[in-house]
Structure 1
């Protein structure tokens, strides 16, 4: 008989247990409590308030997942947990669990998976009220993922094209893309659009970066607001994937109409290869859009090019942001 550990179907069917263990560890701040030198169960119990029995079983499971090492009587971090799960690390992304594994997200995915496959989409998060705290959690949770991509976008813009003086950051969220552009171009004035509560996250980040005086916050629905027009640079970070093809065309037409004569439009998104079965992360992301939006998708380069042309652009090309899984999208005017 095949052992469960050697059976990929068993592993896929029970993957929720890995998610639960990670949620528990993050909520207890377990990896920070363990630190770089390791810790005994008794010490962890005093630091976290959890039972010794519960911590033993959780930590042993995390060892089997490669997130801890065991050296009796202590548990020690691995290189992975040191980098990504200890709050002392600049790459810590434990807070991403607050959105990626939020109850709302788990419910969307697991309550009735066949239903959104049958329908070809879900009411999803797109239908949650704009003042829902999930969007604030989203903005904060995505910061560790967005920070390196935002820096690479700013580097690309610094090496290509003209200096932008007026910048529009659509669905700015945490604001990191507009902030990095403002840091790279000291004369740039950035307009950031998102829901009011979400913009408080962007404002805090702008203040920390020392560019708050050059970033204007505009609250509202980016699809409905008047943007003001004549922007030298319009940023579309991880936004198009929320919508169906025709809605993307409509949005891009609006982008084209608000661009200065020599302006640039730059997007960032998960872009699968034309075969749509590689690379793994964009393929997974297409399924995420199926489960969480009415018509969103991970679009291929040819699809992005087609929607760009239909919206009045010359076309669209994509460039790698490796090792980041998203790609840079250049909309050609």
Structure 2
């Protein structure tokens, strides 16, 4: 573009107003999921009156909620009838195997909302949360995470397991750090029938991990070690160590400490699988990984969304020689194998 060219941009307060009113979408989604509104459609168009009867709600309330969900792109409207969009059918109808509605219980929990909205200027000024926030020992928020976010992390876990399933030699001893709902360890156990999995997390969280492993029929191959990943003895001899959605909670020094501990716990040919939201070097793209840094600013003292270069530097500092990164479709996360 020459210096004489001018980029014409529409001047509008629309984006500003949308940002200031963003809590409307969270509230509408929270209400709709609590009422199981999207499931009530049953794959058919419904009027507000019909839905109100099913939900035992005021028709006016349901009409306004549904109109707002149309405006927000979650429903369509024809005359007086509403219907699900294809995405809402896939991710918000409880009967769908891809259902993700339960995530609202964690993402819009009182603790998370308080960390973001009570005093956002404080975490910006401080360069991170004031206090330990979500990385406080035995924080009960992670029990809520484990119960609510299994469907959210499930696609990433399945994608990682699909990659592992192609290895010429499947892992026989696996370590799942910050296991949470257990999705990653469980999916690996499914594709590697002889693998035994050690899961580390806070004790109340591991109760949820065990519940999910039992439902998946693999609990007898799990061993549970409660405590902080920084303090618990991980043991040794692992073919595969899972570090999903964990490094972003800590500063560079903390990440290198964890990666050194991982390297010391591996067999010589073992690998570490890191799952992270990885922004480009410009830190403003792709949208979700770039925006995720704001989550870490609000909810941790020193966490961040690290670029691929930063993650590679940490891995090399911890003694890893090979760092291979690939997209973890269909999620916005990336998979980084360390050897």
TM bracket, shorter-chain basis: over 0.9
Answer yes or no: is the 8 Å Cα contact 1:131–1:197 preserved in 2: no
SS at match of 2:165: helix
Shift of 1:160: 3.4
Shift of 1:72: 4.1
**Equivalent residue, structure 2, for 1:115:** 122
**Does 240-249 or 302-311 show the bigger shift?**
302-311
Instruction: Say yes or no: does 1:181 pair with 2:201.
Output: no
**Equivalent residue, structure 1, for 2:71:** 64
| TM-score, L = length of structure 2 | 0.92
**Equivalent residue, structure 1, for 2:209:** 202
| TM-score, L = length of structure 1 | 0.93
Q: Give the Cα–Cα distance (whole angstroms) in 2 for the partners of residues 278 and 131 of structure 1.
A: 31
Q: Choose which of 255, 268, 271 in structure 2 pairs with 1:264.
A: 271
* Alignment map for 1:201-280 (pairs within 5 Å): 201-280=208-287
Answer yes or no: is the 8 Å Cα contact 2:198–2:223 preserved in 1: yes
Shift of 1:322: 2.5
Instruction: Say yes or no: does 1:141 pair with 2:148.
Output: yes
Q: Deviations over 1:39-82 (max 9, x none)?
A: 23333223222211111111111111121122344322221211
**Equivalent residue, structure 2, for 1:12:** 19
Q: Deviations over 1:78-106 (max 9, x none)?
A: 21211111111111111111111111111
Q: Give the Cα–Cα distance (whole angstroms) in 1 for the partners of residues 327 and 87 of structure 2.
A: 24
Q: Choose which of 14, 34, 39 in structure 2 pairs with 1:32.
A: 39
Shift of 1:131: 5.4
Q: Choose which of 305, 315, 322 in structure 2 pairs with 1:308.
A: 315
Q: Give the Cα–Cα distance (whole angstroms) in 2 for the partners of residues 127 and 321 of structure 1.
A: 25
Answer yes or no: is the 8 Å Cα contact 1:306–1:315 preserved in 2: no
Q: Give the Cα–Cα distance (whole angstroms) in 2 for the partners of residues 284 and 302 of structure 1.
A: 18
Q: Deviations over 1:157-213 (max 9, x none)?
A: 222363211110000111111111111111111101111221222212212222111
Answer yes or no: is the 8 Å Cα contact 1:301–1:316 preserved in 2: no
**Equivalent residue, structure 2, for 1:130:** 138
Q: Give the Cα–Cα distance (whole angstroms) in 2 for the partners of residues 98 and 129 of structure 1.
A: 21
Answer yes or no: is the 8 Å Cα contact 1:124–1:291 preserved in 2: no
SS at match of 1:325: coil
Q: Choose which of 192, 198, 213 in structure 2 pairs with 1:191.
A: 198
Unaligned runs of 5+ in 2: 1-9
Answer yes or no: is the 8 Å Cα contact 2:90–2:96 preserved in 1: yes
Q: Give the Cα–Cα distance (whole angstroms) in 2 for the partners of residues 26 and 164 of structure 1.
A: 39
Q: Deviations over 1:221-276 (max 9, x none)?
A: 11110111121111101110000000111111111111112211111110111221
Answer yes or no: is the 8 Å Cα contact 2:284–2:291 preserved in 1: no
Answer yes or no: is the 8 Å Cα contact 2:241–2:271 preserved in 1: yes
SS at match of 2:114: helix
How many residue pairs were aligned?
A: 329
Answer yes or no: is the 8 Å Cα contact 1:33–1:47 preserved in 2: yes
Q: Which runs of 4+ in 1 moved over 6 A?
A: none
Answer yes or no: is the 8 Å Cα contact 2:181–2:208 preserved in 1: yes
Answer yes or no: is the 8 Å Cα contact 1:194–1:222 preserved in 2: yes
SS at match of 1:92: coil
Q: Choose which of 94, 101, 114 in structure 2 pairs with 1:87.
A: 94
Answer yes or no: is the 8 Å Cα contact 2:137–2:228 preserved in 1: no
Q: Give the Cα–Cα distance (whole angstroms) in 2 for the partners of residues 86 and 18 of structure 1.
A: 18
Shift of 1:128: 4.2
